[in-house]
Amino acid sequence: QVQLVESGGGLVEPGGSLRLSCAASRSIFSAKTVAWYRQAPGKQRESVASIFRDGTTHYIDSVEGRFTISRDIAKKSVYLQMSRLQPEDTAVYYCNVVTLKSMWGRGTQVTVSS
């Protein structure tokens, strides 16, 4: 089982940027998908960005062009570069890796506010 630890969250002003990192305890080379989800207060958790095994990526419409997901197999890490952040991006962001099971980190808080 892979343990996932997110980092990089924090408080940022609208228009600012953050880079989230997700460190895995084991190789993610064989993962079917690696993804970032988010959950805002009172809302359901939603998938924000995904990378599939073949390297293709998918983003929800609201972050397309602002967020970039990437992975570093050698470093067993997944990243989410977020730019032009908006208050509606405020949420707890979770890393998810799917191999034979779906595994989650504990999340990192991102707050976008002036």
Write the pLDDT tens digit of every residue in 13-39.
Answer: 999 999 999 999 988 888 899 999 999
pLDDT at 22: 97
Q: Can you give the length of the chain in residues? A: 114
pLDDT score of 28: 85
For 88, the 3-state DSSP assignment is helix
The residues near 86 (Cβ < 8 Å, ≥ 6 apart) are 14, 112
51 pLDDT more than 90: yes
Determine if residue 10 is left, alpha or beta; phi over 0 gives left, psi from -120 to 50 gives alpha, anything else beta: left
Instruction: Give the Cα separation of 102 and 79 in Å (integer).
Output: 18
